[in-house]
Amino acid sequence: MVSLNPVQILNMGAEEEKSETARMSSFVGAIAIGDLVKSTLGPKGMDKILQSSSNNETVQVTNDGATILKAIGVDNPAAKVLVDISKVQDDEVGDGTTSVVVLACELLKEAESLVSQKLHPQTVIAGWRKAVDEARRALTESAKDHGKDAKKFREDLMNIARTTLSSKILTQHKDYFANLAVDAVLRLKGSGNLDAIQLIKKLGGNLRDSYLDEGFLLDKKIGVNQPKRLENCKILIANTPMDTDKVKVFGTRVRVDAVSKVAELELAEKEKMKDKVDKIIKHGCTVFINRQLIYNYPEQLFADAGVMAIEHADFEGVERLALVTGGEITSTFDCPEKTKLGHCDTIEEVMIGEDKLLKFSGVALGEACTIILRGATQQILDEADRSLHDALCVLSQTVKETRTVYGGGCSEMLMAEAVSQLAAKTPGKEAIAMEAFARALRMLPTILADNAGYDSADLVAQLRAAHTEGKNTFGLDMDQGQIGKMDDLGITESYQVKRQVLVSGAEAAEMIIRVDNIIKAAPRQRPRDDRCH
Amino acid sequence: MEGDYDGWQPPSEAEMKLMQARRERSDKISKMMGDYLLKGYKMLGSTCRECDTILLQTKQGVNYCIACSELDSDADKDNPVTNPAAALALAREREIVAVPSTPDAAHSQTSNQRSLLHNSSQFQDAPSGHAEITSTTVPGAPQAVRSQGVTASGFFAGSASSQNQGGTGDGFWSIGRERASDGQKYVKELLDKMDWAVAELRATRNVEYSIQLCQLIKASAEALSSVRAALDS
């Protein structure tokens, strides 16, 4: 007789959730995430305060979906998928991080109702695949391209920057900052390398005091007694220890048998340092920038030779400096002919707020520029930094992929219209899934209107009617609370952003729906770590 | 319609209502979860044993289920011990099954099980359905008391004391007389309920809850006296 005891298949400590429970737990987790960021969408979206879970109690105020999702603690697998999608959107395009999560969440809500109506998830997915293709086709058709016309293109870029900034804290001065961002990006001349644009945050003043400066700013000080202003500089960038009396290997000991030997050691170190400095000066540079410390003795030697020495430039600063001045980062100084020196026209000290910074003007990489951000509190500065970074990312993407589409819910309604029409022609149960997809797309303008406090059902119905009639430039005007033409209002978005939102959102939702079994591995048994004893 | 969808039927009215209710509950849970996530709680991958909602973990490592702690449960409304409506349903089902000979009972037996409650109300000649009866059984107590509500015995108290029941109250009591032994059972139920309420009263520190329990005990006592009066008469 076969024993009827339950057979233990999984390891001790592993868990498994099956069908209904797995699906429900996936849905609820992901939907909770979507509902969380929903209220930040659109020009009337609100920001969130994130309280840090660590002991130092930093507080962040942010509107950016990716930042919010990075900060909350999530262990649930479905929710993790959404958080990842938001991160990917941030890395790829920069904007639309909230939209993608909201779209995925709405799709999941529709899927949940379909599955509870006994529709098989694979049917839903098949329908959605067709819907995504149709929506993508409709979006591509409606995209406009002004890449050839410089004036119109700048107009486009301004509109896009304004739309991106409209949901963030910088919306108060969005014209000013849009101008700033577009100037900075156009300076790059299509290279798309955002490293050349530096953002420096300085506490104090208000947002309006921020400005764009050509040239490169370094937040460090010049050594003592060294020339404060240099023209026609040759820059040697290095990453070498100039503090030789520190022991670099923990636990080493130097044994000598007499005090005089200690004095000899010190003298030998001094000689070594002098040799090093001589080698550096032989390169013929007028400026020496080191990533690490420069001790007093070499500093004095540099001052004697009339070389400006700057210490402790951090990693990022040094990388950027190398990029911008055209020099190489060196660690050894034995071959002066082979090292490439950076170049710039002037280096001088400037004062911003209460701090002194070094300004490198006329750098080899003409595209380099710096944006100085001023703000009343650290939170405002951080948020302004993130928003401007988003805008810059989107603009640099648009410079490469010049097509634009209309924002304000117009593209979503357009896609939903196309999908609905296709659904009406499709036989079988997939049509129901496609209708659900169109409904989910229409939820985005609904959420925009809800956040603004207007009657979302009414507005979206009007919008839908307009689109069915063929007027496909109509979208939501959140200032007046009615529908309006997006080309008149200038609410434009990059085609790349919208397409990425559509595709990523649909993929994430599809992946979560396919789950019907969740298996959690048993935690790995680690031997107790006794190394500290 | 059926040919188009390969035999799939769109769900019926009742199923839609059920799905709607479930969806609303799920939405409420999601919203509360969002608030907690912002406060620093961590969403875990495991679910609560009782209600299958996703668990949240505080920074100290304590697991917390939102639905069990803060929302009224989904399944509680079908549990006769805690819910008067469910208890009423249970009582009526028992009557219908036990007495097929009476014309009124037969009348309700022929009708659909699902609209049992409606038939019982016709039986009672009460103007509307279920909710009405429930509200009349606990005079004065707020609607939210349903989770500590009165059991089937409250049904009897209502029939004796309320104005709505009118003439067919007699027809009802004729049945009651025929099943005096059941009456004893109902008395026992009432007493059990009061015992439970007193035990809860001893245990709780919440003022609101205590007030509700006292009202429950009062209503139970009234019910008890009515039942005993009915049985004796």
Distances (CA, A) of B51 to B69, B71, B75: 11, 11, 9
Tell me which of A35, A86, A119 to substitute to probe the interface with B (most B C-beta atoms closer than 10 Å): A35
d(CA A395, CA A498): 14
Minimal CA separation from B174 to chain A, in Å: 46
The answer to whether A206 faces chain B, any CB pair under 8 Å, is no
Closest CB to A35 among B6, B19, B34: B34
The answer to whether A57 faces chain B, any CB pair under 8 Å, is no
The structure tokens 């004062």 sit at: A351
Identify all chain A residues contacting B27, using CB atoms and an 8 Å cutoff: 31, 35
Query: Is A36 close to B19, i.e. CB distance below 8 A?
Result: no
The answer to whether B215 faces chain A, any CB pair under 8 Å, is no
Closest CB to B34 among A15, A32, A75: A32
Closest CB to B4 among A17, A113, A427: A427
DSSP helix, strand, coil percent of chain A (3-state; round to 5): 50, 20, 30
pTM value is 0.72
Q: Which residue of chain A comes nearest to B54, CA vs CA? A: A25
Closest CB to B37 among A36, A112, A520: A36
Which is higher by pLDDT, B36 or B176? Answer: B36
Which is higher by pLDDT, A474 or B85? Answer: A474
Identify all chain A residues contacting B53, using CB atoms and an 8 Å cutoff: 28
Q: How many CB atoms lie within 10 A of CB A72?
A: 23
Query: Is B45 close to A32, i.e. CB distance below 8 A?
Result: no
Q: How many CB atoms lie within 10 A of CB A101?
A: 30
Write down the mean pLDDT value for chain B.
66
The answer to whether A24 faces chain B, any CB pair under 8 Å, is yes
Which is higher by pLDDT, B88 or A437? Answer: A437
Closest CB to A29 among B4, B27, B54: B54
The answer to whether B34 faces chain A, any CB pair under 8 Å, is yes
Identify all chain B residues contacting A117, using CB atoms and an 8 Å cutoff: 10-11, 19
Query: Is A76 close to B45, i.e. CB distance below 8 A?
Result: yes
Nearest Cα to Cα of residue A65 among A28, A104, A26, A111:
A104
pLDDT band at B6 (very low <50, low <70, confident <90, very high): low
CA angle A326, A332, A337 (to 5 degrees): 60
pLDDT value at B47 more than 70: yes
Question: Count of A–B CB contacts within 8 Å?
Answer: 98
CB A155 within 8 A of CB A179: no
Q: Which residues fall within 8 angstroms of residue A303, CB to CB, at 6 or more apart?
A: A223, A224, A225, A226, A309
Identify all chain A residues contacting B13, using CB atoms and an 8 Å cutoff: none
Closest CB to A75 among B10, B26, B42: B42
What confidence score (pLDDT) does residue A457 get? 93
Minimal CA separation from B79 to chain A, in Å: 22
- DSSP label of A228: S
What confidence score (pLDDT) does residue A433 get? 94
Q: Which residue of chain A comes nearest to B42, CA vs CA? A: A73
Nearest Cα to Cα of residue A222 among A345, A359, A364, A320:
A359
Closest CB to A113 among B23, B45, B47: B23
Q: Which residue of chain B comes nearest to A433, CA vs CA? A: B5
pLDDT value at B104 more than 50: no
d(CA A124, CA A513): 9
pLDDT band at B131 (very low <50, low <70, confident <90, very high): very low
Tell me which of B1, B4, B18, B38 to substitute to probe the interface with A (most A C-beta atoms closer than 10 Å): B38
SS (H, E, C) A367-420: CCEEEEEEECCHHHHHHHHHHHHHHHHHHHHHHHCCEEEECCCHHHHHHHHHHH
pLDDT band at B106 (very low <50, low <70, confident <90, very high): very low
What confidence score (pLDDT) does residue A417 get? 93
Which is higher by pLDDT, A105 or B145? Answer: A105
d(CA A341, CA A335): 12
pLDDT by position in tens, chain A (length 533) = 566 677 777 777 677 767 776 777 778 888 888 888 998 998 888 888 887 766 666 788 888 888 888 888 788 888 888 999 999 999 888 888 999 999 999 999 999 888 888 889 899 999 999 999 999 999 999 998 888 888 888 998 999 999 999 888 888 888 999 999 998 888 887 777 787 888 888 888 888 889 998 888 888 888 778 888 888 888 888 888 877 656 666 777 778 888 888 888 888 888 888 888 888 888 888 888 888 888 888 888 888 888 888 887 777 778 888 888 888 888 888 887 888 888 888 888 888 878 888 888 888 777 778 899 998 998 899 999 999 998 999 998 888 888 999 988 999 999 999 999 999 999 989 999 999 999 999 999 999 999 999 999 999 999 999 999 988 889 998 888 888 898 888 899 999 999 999 999 999 999 888 887 777 777 777 777 666 55
Minimal CA separation from B81 to chain A, in Å: 26
pLDDT band at B78 (very low <50, low <70, confident <90, very high): low
Identify all chain A residues contacting B26, using CB atoms and an 8 Å cutoff: 27-28, 31, 112
Residue A250 CB-density burial (10 A; 0-12 exposed, 13-18 middle, 19+ buried): exposed
